[in-house]
A and B are shown apart, each in its own frame.
Chain A
Amino acid sequence: MSLSASDLLTLTREGLYCPLGGFHVDPTWPVPRALITHGHADHARSGHGKVLATGQTLRIMAVRYGEDFCEARQEAVLGEDIRIGDVTVRFAPAGHVLGSAQISIQAQGVRVVVSGDYKRAYDPTCLPFEVVPCDVFITEATFGLPVFRMPDTAGEVRKLLDSVALFPERAHIVGAYALGKAQRVMALLREAGYDEPIYLHGAMEKLTELYKREGIPLGETPKVVATERGKLHGAIVLCPPSAIQDVWSRKFPDPVTSFASGWMRVRARARQKGAELPLVISDHSDWPDLCRTIRETGAGEVWVTHGQEDALVHWCGTQGIKAKPLHMLGYGDDGEGETAAPAEEAAA
């Protein structure tokens, strides 16, 4: 090949940059032109010039940051080639949250895929991940250790419903990230046959309404009325993870504290957060899926970003795949933990 991968993408202070196309991908700093993989706050920031993203991601950004979150929006249609400068970009579903996409960047026969965050487990609230064959695959590694094997989500939701049946007098407060996880939990509850109202913390209201507008049925999801909290015996209440530690969560009747997160896989982590009912539900790929995906892309080279890079780089080496960690700053575990800014959640 006449072109090397680093001609297509380099790492700058603002994040990944494509010199041939003159754009950044998921920049952590305002830039003239940004391509955004998905709507989580650490990937989608406000203040850019032009933004290219899927329609759903653009609408999520508008809900979170206001309609003026950038100067000009352009909607990327999944599967359609878009010419930018000397490269062709194409968006493909990533299975992470509503609107999430991988971005493939191609020039002179060389293709790099930026996966953003992705998962391959079942999620009724977004399109499934699609494998895009490529030369260089840029993967996340949030759960990049072989101890992370996520169980079936139906079983986790069953745990929650069993607990509600066992303690009908207690409110069940489930900490879940406001974008994606919360709506996925609601949808899974509905699939499990739960048709009671699911109560929401105020920080989740607007995004949940957006999901409903996008055609995801979530049933009745009233906002918790502060003065009525004491009456919610046996109710399921969703709130941002940070609200569990808050005064807000104490007014419910003898609350059972629960978290829906991949981190719940590890007992010490779960206990540290005070989870009495840990629900292992992750919006990121677990270890087997990271390995499987890398193989399926056929990539000869893998760049590993945020998370447990070392283990995945090591594994690639054992498979004869060239790999290196990309130490990018500014990406958190986007809501799997407590790192999401509470202020932003409260505003959303």
Chain B
Amino acid sequence: MNDFAHLLDRLAYEPRRNAKLRLLQDYFAHAPDPERGWALAAMTGNLSFREAKPAMIRGLVEARVDPVLFALSHNYVGDLAETTALIWPSQNPPPSAGEGGPRVSEGREKGAPSPERSSPLPPAPQAPSPAEGGGDAAAAGPGHNNPPPHIPTLSEVVETLATVKKSDLPAHIAGWLDALDETGRWALLKLITGALRVGVSARLAKTAVGALGGHEADAVEEVWHGLEPPYLGLFAWVEGRGERPTTLNPAPFRPPMLSHPIDEETDFDKLDPAAFSGEWKWDGIRVQLAGGRDEAGEQVARVYSRTGEDITHAFPDLAEAITFTGTIDGELLILREERVQSFNVLQQRLNRKAVTPKLLEEFPAHVRAYDLLTAEGEDLRPLPFATRRARLKGFVAALDHARIDLSPLVTFETWEDLAEARADPASVGAGEDADAIEGVMLKLRDSPYLPGRPKGPWWKWKREPHLVDAVMMYAQRGHGKRSSFYSDYTFGVWRERPEGGRELVPVGKAYHGFTDAELAKLDRFVRNHTTKRFGPVREVAYGPEEGLVLEIAFEGVQRSTRHKSGVAMRFPRVHRIRWDKPAAEADGIGILETILARGEREIAPGASIDEEAS
């Protein structure tokens, strides 16, 4: 547990991806089985046990520490796990190298001459009281003479939590907290309250495991869905001690092939239009439908997100359609009366806790298929795109299910043809679905399906984004490489005040879209125009007479109850910095409301739009 705690502690302070990877690799290389397997499960969200409730933790602390002192501390620290970790009365003596056990200041000093003691000797210290909130229990307490406490392993914690009776849980947790040091307590509490946020994605953890044996993350993904914690077979394989795990899952996830954005200025000249096939780029979410028969002959149906997350439970309507054995790559969309709805509508279906019949009815899920990775046990990925496409066409036709259809091709002969289609999809066959199209995809006809983001075979060419001229209002320091730069900007647009006149109202936040040189200039602007400071955030000068105009590009607008303005933008980024433009000439909120209204017309009257889906 201590090694795992130490890892989490380091990760929590490490902003850089590569350094995180190094820490993870180091841990996986040195931690024994099954500890590392449980750690991997914790970081990939694959642990299942009874989570400890905050109220129970609080109860344990308050039985040991003055509740008033605990409340004041919790209020100050702001995090229950950390407060508990810091305040828990230590049973074992703190590590002592320099200061020694009992902290007497006399007699250890160097470098400064000691004066004659000027005051009468202090009265003999009284025995410390436990009411201090644990403070010096070490000095007072059982201390050195007791046998060292048993420090639980991560496996022990996980296995106990999975099997323990609810009524026995508090005693187990208290025992562990007694045995662990402060970092260990913190990590344990984060783990058992289900709040393990240490900035490590499942993908990063898998990358680190793969690297143990020189495998790419995708190789780990290939076998991942057949595995169970603590992943003994996986570690044996990557370390060359065992066979590649055969995935027992009859419907495994296959890492998807991703595209690169095309650079209009430079890329088209190098590409031959005849070698490419065109498709619409749908504004939905990328999913994979996987189906197969298990050993008992039962149909297994899975819906996976782009990152391999199993989201079947959220889409029972799609799972029903997976009656086949194979793997379809496609776009999840909401279709009403055969018409594709905009992303705003899809948002209403995503991330809902409860999948109600009403939700299924109002937001029917649909997959527009654009690739076929396996069929009837055959791996089609090595085949050229054109061949796979032909197989896909036959597969979808044979399936003949209303929820799964084929993504149509966009035919073109020259890049100019394609540019026209991209500019006006409705005119070349997209019809009423045009609003749900966010550009075009180009796929090399003779390319195999390559997991990851290989450069060359697949390109995306998005439609022009919406643009708005907004005024910078607040700036916040960035992280990692940008840690000393003000790189996150909250911007606002004008709106009419009820009492007359105009005011700027914040509508979004952008933190990319500029070069390092531009960032340096923006940072200087923020520092030179700061009017107020709120911790890491600075307010800059803005108003009709002063302020910096940022041209913001974005993909859409949603209604928001979180923003004062009532609207939230999708993917806002800085498109241009308008050093030349007076703030008074920035746009008003009307431009966003118009875009919003266009999107909202599509949402059914019965649909809740107050509740944000993301």
Contact B132 A291 (CB under 8 A): yes
Contact B132 A131 (CB under 8 A): no
Produce 1/0 per residue, B100-143, CB < 8 A to A: 00010110111111111111101101101101111110010000
Q: Would A146 and B99 be within 8 Å (CB), given that A247-B484, A268-B79, A288-B136 are in contact? A: no
Known: A104-B119, A130-B117. 6 other contacts (CB 8 A): A147-B86, A215-B113, A246-B484, A247-B484, A274-B477, A292-B125
Specify which of A79, A246, A270 is in contact with B117 (CB 8 Å cutoff).
Answer: A79
The answer, yes or no, to whether B12 is at the interface (CB within 8 Å) is yes
Residues on the B chain within 8 Å of A215, using CB: 111-113
Residues on the A chain within 8 Å of B113, using CB: 215
The answer, yes or no, to whether A121 is at the interface (CB within 8 Å) is yes
A269 CB to nearest B CB, Å = 9
Residues on the B chain within 8 Å of A244, using CB: 484
Contact B135 A149 (CB under 8 A): yes
Q: Would A151 and B95 be within 8 Å (CB), given that A278-B13, A318-B131 are in contact? A: yes
Interface positions of B from 62 to 84, Cβ below 8 Å from A: 65-66, 68-70, 72-73, 76-79, 82-83
Choose the segment among A20-28, A64-72, A89-97 that binds chain B (4+ C-beta atoms closer than 8 Å).
A89-97
Choose the segment among A41-49, A221-229, A309-317, A323-331 that binds chain B (4+ C-beta atoms closer than 8 Å).
A309-317
Residues on the A chain within 8 Å of B69, using CB: 145-146, 311, 314-315
Specify which of A104, A266, A287 is in contact with B135 (CB 8 Å cutoff).
Answer: A287
Contact B105 A79 (CB under 8 A): no
Can you give 26 A-B contacts (C-beta < 8 A)? A90-B118, A90-B119, A92-B118, A121-B103, A124-B111, A130-B119, A131-B122, A146-B73, A147-B83, A147-B86, A187-B111, A191-B98, A216-B111, A245-B484, A257-B483, A267-B79, A267-B186, A268-B78, A270-B13, A276-B14, A277-B13, A287-B132, A288-B132, A291-B132, A308-B76, A318-B129
The answer, yes or no, to whether A296 is at the interface (CB within 8 Å) is yes
Produce 1/0 per residue, A276-313, CB < 8 A to B: 11100000001111011001111000000000101100
The answer, yes or no, to whether A122 is at the interface (CB within 8 Å) is yes
Residues on the B chain within 8 Å of A245, using CB: 477, 484
Contact A296 B108 (CB under 8 A): no
Residues on the A chain within 8 Å of B86, using CB: 146-149, 265-266
Most chain A C-beta atoms within 10 Å of own C-beta, residue among B68, B125, B477, B483? B483
Query: With A and B bound together, what is the CA distance between A148 and B73 in angstroms?
Result: 9
The answer, yes or no, to whether A195 is at the interface (CB within 8 Å) is no
Residues on the B chain within 8 Å of A246, using CB: 484
Choose the segment among A11-19, A31-39, A152-160, A202-210 that binds chain B (4+ C-beta atoms closer than 8 Å).
A152-160
Instruction: Using CB atoms, name the residue of chain B closest to A243.
Output: B484
Most chain B C-beta atoms within 10 Å of own C-beta, residue among A104, A152, A275? A152
Residues on the A chain within 8 Å of B94, using CB: 149, 151-152
Contact B122 A297 (CB under 8 A): yes
Contact B112 A154 (CB under 8 A): no
The answer, yes or no, to whether B313 is at the interface (CB within 8 Å) is no
A67 CB to nearest B CB, Å = 24
Q: Would A131 and B99 be within 8 Å (CB), given that A146-B65, A147-B83, A249-B484 are in contact? A: no
The answer, yes or no, to whether A80 is at the interface (CB within 8 Å) is yes
Specify which of A278, A287, A295, A310 is in contact with B133 (CB 8 Å cutoff).
Answer: A287
Instruction: Using CB atoms, name the residue of chain A closest to B68.
Output: A314
Produce 1/0 per residue, A111-136, CB < 8 A to B: 00000000011111111111111000
Query: With A and B bound together, what is the CA distance between A216 and B111 in angstroms?
Result: 5
Contact B484 A292 (CB under 8 A): no
Contact A295 B126 (CB under 8 A): yes
Instruction: Using CB atoms, name the residue of chain B closest to A145.
Output: B73
Query: With A and B bound together, what is the CA distance between A155 and B82 in angstroms?
Result: 20
A235 CB to nearest B CB, Å = 18
The answer, yes or no, to whether A217 is at the interface (CB within 8 Å) is yes
The answer, yes or no, to whether B479 is at the interface (CB within 8 Å) is yes
Produce 1/0 per residue, A170-212, CB < 8 A to B: 0000000000000000011001000000000000000000000
A288 CB to nearest B CB, Å = 4
The answer, yes or no, to whether A5 is at the interface (CB within 8 Å) is no
Residues on the B chain within 8 Å of A146, using CB: 65, 69-70, 73, 86-87, 132-135
Query: With A and B bound together, what is the CA distance between A275 and B12 in angstroms?
Result: 10
The answer, yes or no, to whether B15 is at the interface (CB within 8 Å) is yes
Contact B83 A121 (CB under 8 A): no
Residues on the A chain within 8 Å of B73, using CB: 145-147, 311
Residues on the B chain within 8 Å of A107, using CB: none
The answer, yes or no, to whether A272 is at the interface (CB within 8 Å) is yes
Q: Would A291 and B123 be within 8 Å (CB), given that A145-B73, A146-B69, A274-B483 are in contact? A: no
Contact B115 A154 (CB under 8 A): no
